[in-house]
Structure 1
Amino acid sequence: MWAFWLQLIFCCLWQLCIEGQTLGPQIANPKFATNNPTLTTVALEKPFCVFDGSMLKGAAYEVYLYVMMDSASTSGSFLMDNSSKPLDATFQQTSGGQSGPYKAVVFNVPNCASLPKLSDAADATKAPAILSQYLVRVGDDATCLYDPNFLDACNPPLSQDTAYRFKYVLVDSTAGVMKDQTPWSQPIRTRKLKWSSTIDTWPGRRSGGMIVITSILSVLMFTLVAGFLAATLLTVTTSEETPTEMRYESQTTQQTSPRVLETSESELEVSSAH
């Protein structure tokens, strides 16, 4: 009996853990955000249908995106003060997320009833609007740090080869209080810069598959060029032989006609003699 209840509790806790990981910010689908993450940016999916829809009725809400380095202390990851108001820590105040989370982006709550049609992303005219509605890119503002008149949430470039965590927070924009939040995301690491001197260009270090493909393409190219040259040579040779045959036939015709004429004149002379 006790084993059954323990198993049931374990399953419930495991389900809650999975749901928490699922509801946290997710890295964008590679079909819609190629080369992600980059050296200084990370594209995330916006929180569609994540927050309780009944809570959103009759009030104005916004979503705050907080960013924190994975190496930051978990004790400094709290996002609200004693009055339930979200923290307004900036990139500069947290040293780029090293000492705690900072507010990077503020946007409207995505409309769960009107999901973006990702199939429209294939249309070049609709793709920018669809991706802007579907994605939020962290680290795409390179000017806010140096603009003294900038008052919005600053979203400066991230550090390369660094793991970050992200969190969405639902805020009542009228009262300025936090209503809901997602768990912190799993660590997402930005890419590392590769210097040109470290890139291996020696053919001997290439994989066997690449060598085989290169060899096949080289043979096919040689065969194609050889066939083209052979066809060209055959065409030129044929065009040179055709006029010679025509001249030979013409000369034969001209030589045959006088002989017929001479034979007829000889026969006429013999007839006259008789």
Structure 2
Amino acid sequence: KVAEVALLQIGWERQGAADLKPQIATSRLATNNPTLTTVTLEKPFCMFDSSLRPNKSYAIYLYAMKESASAVSSLVINSSKPVDSTFQQTRGGQLGPYKAASFNVPNCASPPKLADVGDINKVSDVLKQYLFRVGDDGTCLYDPNFLGICNPPLAPDTTYRFKYLLLDTTEGIVKDQTLWSDPIQTRRVKLPSKIDTWPGRRSGDMIVITSILSVLMFLLLAGFLASVSSTRRMSQTIQQSEPKPQLSSE
């Protein structure tokens, strides 16, 4: 199943990036996606093939923004340079797109061995080559020594859009880019009254009642054991206090 999905993805993306957009990872490759604060996307595997040239160095930039962004500016300035807006500068994507990540162009000519997905020791490395998790860095915002591109957690119950951009790092210019992704919403925080309290999907009131009954049962059991112990001690005391019959001497 995984191999089929990946192969279909590669064939689909070979068409080029002009009319394509980032896709949320299939549940076969990424379970529990999105989460409260992350979204796992498929990397642009073979998406920019037609724009790559020999003897050039390239990188992929990933941009993110909230769907409600007050300003959706172009990702290219001065006709060639990429925008370098950060998470902080855009208030987490509220004011416009920010650069969330930078990574190497996936190697379309020599992809990871899909057979390795079945190997528990290799599956993590294979998935990292196919997927990228937006919102996966919980420390960069608070680390004064962090100098890289910050990819901090996303906001819960918030809709985002994403875009890939191909940068020619030899000349520092943009060579290609995708469309913005479809809206992708992170999960919302569940209210305590709606949390699945397995077993039996009990309500909060039922949990409280069950807890009280459990405590009462414990107290009754403790009282019963204490009563039995007291009765035994009283019996032993009575037996010890009874006068023993005198033996007559001949």
Contact 2:66 2:158 in 1 (8 A): yes
Structure-2 residue corresponding to 1:45: 42
- Which of the numbers 86, 97, 104 marks the counterpart of 2:100? 104
Deviation of 1:21 after TM superposition, in Å, equals: 9.4
- Which of the numbers 116, 123, 137 marks the counterpart of 1:120? 116
Q: Distance in 2 between matches of 1:96 and 1:23?
A: 25
Aligned 1:72-87 pairs, distance under 5 A: 72-73=69-70, 75-87=71-83
What runs of 5+ residues in structure 2 fail to find an aligned partner? 1-15, 203-250
1:30-69 deviation per Cα after TM superposition (whole angstroms, max 9, x unaligned): 1111000000000100001111345332200000000011
Deviation of 1:106 after TM superposition, in Å, equals: 0.3
Aligned 1:70-219 pairs, distance under 5 A: 70-73=67-70, 75-199=71-195
Q: Distance in 2 between matches of 1:36 and 1:58?
A: 38
Q: Structure 1 203/40 Cα, relative in aligned 2: closer, same or farther at 3 Å?
A: closer
SS in 2 for 1:112: coil
- Whether 2:63 is the aligned partner of 1:66: answer yes
Contact 1:62 1:106 in 2 (8 A): yes
SS in 2 for 1:58: coil
Deviation of 1:83 after TM superposition, in Å, equals: 4.5
SS in 2 for 1:72: coil
Q: Distance in 2 between matches of 1:93 and 1:49?
A: 32
Q: Structure 1 58/163 Cα, relative in aligned 2: closer, same or farther at 3 Å?
A: same
Q: Distance in 1 between matches of 2:52 and 2:175?
A: 9
SS in 1 for 2:82: coil
Name the count of aligned residue pairs.
Answer: 188
1:145-167 deviation per Cα after TM superposition (whole angstroms, max 9, x unaligned): 01122111100000001110000
- Which of the numbers 3, 20, 25 marks the counterpart of 1:23? 20
1:68-89 deviation per Cα after TM superposition (whole angstroms, max 9, x unaligned): 111114x523112115100110
Deviation of 1:177 after TM superposition, in Å, equals: 1.0
Amino acid at match of 2:41: L
Contact 1:170 1:179 in 2 (8 A): yes
Q: Segments of 4+ in structure 1 off by > 4 A? A: 19-22, 200-206
Q: Structure 1 115/202 Cα, relative in aligned 2: closer, same or farther at 3 Å?
A: closer
Structure-1 residue corresponding to 2:209: none
Contact 2:140 2:151 in 1 (8 A): yes
Q: Structure 1 104/205 Cα, relative in aligned 2: closer, same or farther at 3 Å?
A: closer
SS in 2 for 1:32: coil
Amino acid at match of 1:48: F
Range that drifts further, 99-108 or 122-131: 122-131
What TM-score do you get using the length of structure 2 for normalisation? 0.69
Deviation of 1:23 after TM superposition, in Å, equals: 1.9
Q: Structure 1 182/193 Cα, relative in aligned 2: closer, same or farther at 3 Å?
A: same
Q: Distance in 1 between matches of 2:193 and 2:176?
A: 49
Contact 1:21 1:185 in 2 (8 A): no
What runs of 5+ residues in structure 1 fail to find an aligned partner? 1-18, 207-274
Q: Distance in 2 between matches of 1:40 and 1:20?
A: 27
Deviation of 1:22 after TM superposition, in Å, equals: 6.8
Q: Distance in 1 between matches of 2:113 and 2:183?
A: 28
